[in-house]
Structure 1
Amino acid sequence: TTHFTFTKELLCRLSDIPSIKAVKMPPPKEGEVATELTELRASPVGALAIGYSGDWIAAEALLAKCDGWFSVLGGFLPKIACQLSEAALKEDTIAVKQYQERLQPIWTLFRELGSLRVVYAAVNHLGLSDAQPPRPLLPLTKIDQERVVKALEWASIL
């Protein structure tokens, strides 16, 4: 069965509230986005715009025709996020696969270390900011910061 952070019953009740127009879904297991989206659209929740967080499932969600991607990557690398989104909207699965391969090391770090901490390390390395994560979060270790740099290099961002 599909796992929802909110129960499906609660999501259905929320869809009856006129001021609620959309829902941001957490990432399901990879390979389950289309099934979950179909299930949600077949229920009263389908009246809402349905978007997903979890950048590592973005391509899958966009190809499944979700209504939105709540992107971490787009906040600091908007060009590649737009390119991935445009390829998915055009149903260019070859280009989408290429973007996914380029971004896989970043997705791995997001899942392993937390996207917020990875973003701080990335924007610092890219010279976009010198900010540090808010306490109680700690910055990444030097070794993990080097992994972020390598992931950015792999993605052809550096």
Structure 2
Amino acid sequence: MFTGLSAFPLTPMNEQGVNEHEFIRLVECLAEAEVDSIGVLGSTGNYAYLSSEERARVAKLSVENAGNVPVVVGIGALRTRDVLANAENAQQAGAGGVLLAPVSYQKLTDDEVFSLYETVCRSLSVPLCVYDNPGTTHFHFSDELHGRIAQLPQVASIKIPPVQNDLAAAKARVAGLRALLPSDVTIGISGDPAAATGLLAGCDAWYSVIGGLYPEIALALTRAAQAGDTEQAIARSAALEPLWALYQEYGGSLRVAATIAELTGNVSQPCLPQPLRTLQGEARKRVEAVIDMLSLS
């Protein structure tokens, strides 16, 4: 399950709640494309902005509409108590696995983070992916901490931040981490612009934002990399460079992906929880121009 393309859809919402019809449609499209897994309630799914009840409902809808594609559900929360409740709701919904980031307000220590994963793993009957996302959690995993956590039962994958856009350096990074992990724990790359490099460097999975909107495009890149076709994988990523440039200019992938989803009619406007907003004005026009340039209808 934690290999290949894991596509992360948006959770379309407004201040009245989740737009269930639109969310179901996004999940169904991913299932029809036969992605390797569907990742819901990650950062792209705005898990941190939803109540536990809303999250339980999203998990249930995901599994019900994913067909034969396994669903990985994000369970991160500020308190371990709430993480455990989210984990139980995900398991009851039939999730194939869970995704956990060390969410915090007070900065966490390594021992606190290890304790979080240790406690959660004791309650799980499904595999867990460690979500290493310092851009949102402001916690920086060391490789040694990853190695400790990876020994825990149920830990099956580590979702790492983007690697350098240099294949030799990326291979060294992945090899260094892999040397500390059990052989059955996979490494997945996040950060769409680094996906091709990460996969070619030895990552087993791509945890993808753009895959949540355009699974066919992301699958083509993934399959090329899995086949060892370096030239094709890099070319497919390079073709999306105007999109990657938007990510960099506008602070990451979420607002860009949500704006694309609105402009293409995949979701209604607004689709993000306040105070978050999709791109407006000149920025929105730039996204629209990239949509046209890349034929992302």
Same fold (TM over 0.5): yes
Q: Are residues 57 and 46 of structure 1, via their aligned partners in 2, closer, same or farther at CA, if it must alter by over 3 Å?
A: farther
Kindly report which structure 2 residues correspond to 1:6-155, keeping only aligned pairs within 5 A, or say none: 6-31=141-166, 32-44=169-181, 47-113=184-250, 114-130=252-268, 131-155=270-294
Stretch moving more, 71-80 or 38-47: 38-47
Shift of 1:56: 0.4
* Letter paired with 2:261: V
Stretch moving more, 136-145 or 41-50: 41-50
Using the aligned pairs only, state the percent identity: 35
Instruction: Give SS of 1:21's match.
Output: strand
Structure 2: how far apart are the matches of 1:49 and 1:91?
A: 18
Shift of 1:109: 1.1
The structure in which a higher percent of residues are helix is: 1
CA RMSD after TM alignment: 2.0
Number of residues of Structure 1 aligned to a counterpart in Structure 2:
156
Shift of 1:68: 0.7
TM-score, normalising length: structure 2: 0.49
Q: Are residues 141 and 7 of structure 1, via their aligned partners in 2, closer, same or farther at CA, if it must alter by over 3 Å?
A: same
Q: Deviations over 1:22-44 (max 9, x none)?
A: 11101133223222101111223
Structure 1: how far apart are the matches of 2:220 and 2:187?
A: 21
Q: Deviations over 1:48-93 (max 9, x none)?
A: 2110110000000111221111000000011101111111122222
Asked whether the 8 Å contact 2:256–2:287 carries over to 1, the reply is: yes
Question: Please, which runs of 5 or more residues in structure 1 have no aligned partner?
Answer: none
